[in-house]
Amino acid sequence: MGARLSEIARGVTPSATLSLKTEIARVEKAYGVSIIDLTAGQPDVGPTDDVLAALSEGGRLHKYGPIPGEPGLRSLLAEVTNHETGSKFSADQIVVTVGAKSAIDVVMRAILDPGDAVVILAPYWVTYPEVVAIAGGSPVCVASRADLRPDLQKTAEAVSRNRARALLYSSPSNPTGVVYSREELEGLSRIAREADIWLIADEVYRTFAFDGGTAPSIFSTVCPYENTVLIDGPSKRFGIPGWRLGFIAGPQELTTAVSAILGHTSNPPRPIQHAVEVAYRSEQAREATRTMVRRYQQNRDLFVEGLNGIAGITCPLPEGAFYCFADVSALYGKVYTYDDDRSETVADSTGFRNFLLRKAFVAAVEGGPFGMDTHMRFSLAVSEHDCKAALENIRKAVSELHD
C-alpha cells in the first residue's frame, strides 16, 4: 500500500554507460589526468551544414503534428528503406518515434502481454532486456557461438522452449560489430516464421559496414517473413543522436497499434522531423556518412591489430557498426599495483574496466551488461590520435599486470 515504486521500476538496471561517466569524472579528478574515452555510442561528428540550417527553418512547424510522423518524412523513410533493403513498405507502415530506443519500447508495449518471453541474441545492446522487462515481458538471452556469431540452433530451441512472443537482435551488432550474413538472417526469419512470432530487426548501424561491403538487411533475404519489424533511425548515420528521432517499419496492424499508443504518450518534435527529412535527401550528409565509415574502418584496422598484439587479449575483426569487442578473460586473476603499493585483482569485466581507467587512463565499457562478462567494448568512433594513444596506454598497463 501507499506511495511506492512499481516492481517493474525497481527492477530496472541503470545504464552501465551512464554510471561509467560518473566513474570517469571521479578518476580524472582524483588522478589529475584526462581519460581517453572509448565508450562513445555515437559518432564523433555532427550533422552537415544544410541539415543544421533545416533545423532552424523547421521551427515554423510549431503546432501539433500527425502522431505517426510528418507525411513527407514517412514517405521518404519508406522510399529510402525500400531502396536500401529491398523491402516494400508504404508510408503508412512507417511510424516516427523519439529515437530508435523508444521505437523498441513502443513495439514491446504493442506486442507483449505480461510475462511474454522475448528471445534476445547475446551479446546484446544493454537496453534490450530492460526494455522488454519495462513492457512487462520476460527477456530470454541466448549466447552466441564462440566467434560471436548467432547460434541458430540454440535460438530455435529458446524460442520453442519459452513459447516466445518475439525474437530481437541487432545487425550490425552493438556491441560486437558482427554483421549477420544473409544465411544467418534467413535462419532467423525461418525460426520466427515457424514459431509464428514477431521478428524485430534493429538495423540502426546498417550504413556502418566496413571493407566496401554492405550490411545485409533482414529484408534482403530470399523470402522475408511478413511479421518482421524494422527498427532504424538517423542518429548514427547522420551524427544526430541528440535530436532523438527513430522509426519503425512493419506490418500495418502493428504500426496502427503503435500509433494508438503514441497518441497518448509522445512523438518527436516537428522541427526535428523536418531537418531529418532534409538529411535523408542530402548528398552532402550521405558523403559525410561515407567519410565517417572510412575513418572508423581505419581506426578498426589499427586498433584491433594492436589489441591482438597484446598477450592475453583477443579481438575478432568487426565487420560493421563502430565497436570492437575484445576477450580479456585470460587476464582475469592478474594483479595491478598502485604507487603506494596497494594491489587490486582483475576479477571480471567490471574489474578490467576499473583497471583500464586507473592504470591506462582509458575508458571502455565492460562486457557484463552486454551479456558477456569475458569481454570489453571499445568504441572506434574517436580520432585516430585517441585510438593510437589508448592502444599505447593499454599495452603498457597490461605489461605491468602480474600474478
Ligand X SMILES: Cc1ncc(COP(=O)(O)O)c(C=O)c1O
Q: Which of 48, 85, 144, 170 binds ligand X (CB under 6 A)?
A: 170
Counting residues that bind ligand X (by CB under 6 A) gives: 13
Q: Which of 39, 41, 381, 401 binds ligand X (CB under 6 A)?
A: 41
322 sits near ligand X (criterion: CB under 6 A): no
Give the nearest distance from C-beta 304 to ligand X in angstroms: 19
Give the nearest distance from C-beta 61 to ligand X in angstroms: 21
State the Cα angle at 205 between 353 and 235, rounded to 5°. Answer: 90
* Angstrom distance (rounded) from CA 198 to CA 238: 29
Is 231:195 a contact under the CB 8 Å cutoff?
no
Nearest of 292, 275, 364 to residue 326 by alpha carbon: 364
Give the nearest distance from C-beta 17 to ligand X in angstroms: 9
Question: Applying CB under 6 A, which part among 31-39, 99-107, 113-121, 270-278 lies near ligand X?
Answer: 99-107
* Angstrom distance (rounded) from CA 125 to CA 120: 10
Smaller CB distance to ligand X: residue 101 or 300? 101
Taking CA atoms, 103 is separated from 86, 165, 166, 280, 384, in Å, by 21, 17, 15, 19, 33
174 sits near ligand X (criterion: CB under 6 A): yes
Question: How many other C-beta atoms lie within 10 A of the C-beta of residue 378?
Answer: 32
367 sits near ligand X (criterion: CB under 6 A): no
Smaller CB distance to ligand X: residue 276 or 304? 276
Give the nearest distance from C-beta 99 to ligand X in angstroms: 3
Smaller CB distance to ligand X: residue 70 or 398? 70
Taking CA atoms, 41 is separated from 35, 44, 176, in Å, by 16, 9, 12
Q: Which of 100, 131, 133, 188 binds ligand X (CB under 6 A)?
A: 100
Q: Side-chain half-sphere of 383: how many Cα atoms within 13 Å?
A: 4
Binding to ligand X (CB under 6 A) within 218-277 occurs at 233, 235, 241, 246
Give the nearest distance from C-beta 72 to ligand X in angstroms: 20
Question: Applying CB under 6 A, which part among 56-64, 93-101, 112-120, 358-366 lies near ligand X?
Answer: 93-101
Relative orientation angle of helices 71-85 and 270-281, to the nearest 10 degrees: 40
Binding to ligand X (CB under 6 A) within 275-304 occurs at none
Give the nearest distance from C-beta 21 to ligand X in angstroms: 14
Is 377:304 a contact under the CB 8 Å cutoff?
no
Q: Which of 74, 101, 109, 375 binds ligand X (CB under 6 A)?
A: 101
* Angstrom distance (rounded) from CA 389 to CA 131: 36
Relative orientation angle of helices 99-111 and 127-134, to the nearest 10 degrees: 40
**Binding positions for ligand X, rule: CB under 6 A:** 41, 99-101, 125, 170, 174, 202, 204, 233, 235, 241, 246
